[in-house]
Amino acid sequence: MSILNSIPSYTPPPGRPIGEWGTVDEGAAQQLQDRLDALINELGLVGLQVGLKRPDGPIWTGAGGTIDLRRRVPLTPHHVMRIASTTKLFTSVMVLRLVEDGRIRLEDTIDRWLPDFPRAARITVAMLLSHTSGIGHPPFTLKVKLRLLFSNTVFTLDELVELAARTPSYDEPGQSHQYSNANHHLLGAIARSVGNRPIGDLIESAIFSRLGLVHTALLPDHPPPANLVSGWDNVYTPSLRPFELKPTNVMLASHASTSGGMVSTAGELLAFVDGLFAKKLISGSLLARMTAIEPCSEPAFHHTGYGTGIFRIGIDGQDYLGHLGLFVGSQALVLYLPQSGGALSVVGNLSQSRVFDVASHFAPVIQGNAL
Residue 284 lies inside a defined structural domain of this protein? yes
CATH number of the domain where residue 144 is located = 3.40.710.10
CA distance 72 to 47: 12
Torsion from C-alpha of 60, 281, 181, 140, nearest 10 degrees = -40
Q: Is 82 left (phi over 0), alpha (psi -120 to 50) or beta?
A: beta
- Average of per-residue pLDDT across 174-191: 97
Residue 9 lies inside a defined structural domain of this protein? no
Q: What is the DSSP string of 236-263?
A: SS--SS-EEE-TT--HHHHHHGGGT-EE
Among 64-78, 138-152, 280-294, 329-343, whose mean pLDDT is lowest? 138-152
DSSP, collapsed to helix, strand or coil, labels residue 53 as strand
Domain count within the chain: 1
Residue 25 lies inside a defined structural domain of this protein? no
DSSP 5: G
CA distance 93 to 196: 17
Tens-place pLDDT, residues 55-79: 999 999 999 999 999 999 999 999 9
Tens-place pLDDT, residues 125-157: 999 999 999 999 988 777 777 776 665 778 899
**The pLDDT of residue 154:** 86
Q: Which phi and psi angles does 332 have, rounded to 5°? A: -145, 155
**Model confidence at 212: pLDDT above 60:** yes
Residue 41 lies inside a defined structural domain of this protein? no
Tens-place pLDDT, residues 40-50: 999 999 999 99
Burial class (CB in 10 A: 0-12, 13-18, 19+), 308: buried
335 pLDDT band, cuts 50/70/90, is very high
Cis peptide bond N-terminal to 74, omega within 30: no
- Average of per-residue pLDDT across 293-322: 96
**Model confidence at 238: pLDDT above 80:** no
Give every CB contact of residue 259 below 8 A, 6+ residues apart in sequence: 85, 87, 88, 91, 181, 182, 183, 184, 185, 188
- Average of per-residue pLDDT across 101-120: 98
**Model confidence at 257: pLDDT above 90:** yes
Residue 17 lies inside a defined structural domain of this protein? no
Instruction: Give the closest residue to 262 by CA, choosing from 86, 63, 131.
Output: 86
C-alpha atoms less than 13 angstroms from C-alpha of 320 in its C-beta half-sphere: 28
> Which residue range is the domain that position 286 belongs to?
46-366
Residue 19 lies inside a defined structural domain of this protein? no
**Model confidence at 282: pLDDT above 60:** yes
Q: Quickly count: other Cβ atoms within 10 Å of residue 120's Cβ.
A: 17
- Structure pTM? 0.96
**The pLDDT of residue 151:** 58
Contact yes or no for 362/50 (Cβ under 8 A): yes
**The pLDDT of residue 1:** 38
Residue 262 lies inside a defined structural domain of this protein? yes
Residue 27 lies inside a defined structural domain of this protein? no
DSSP, collapsed to helix, strand or coil, labels residue 308 as coil
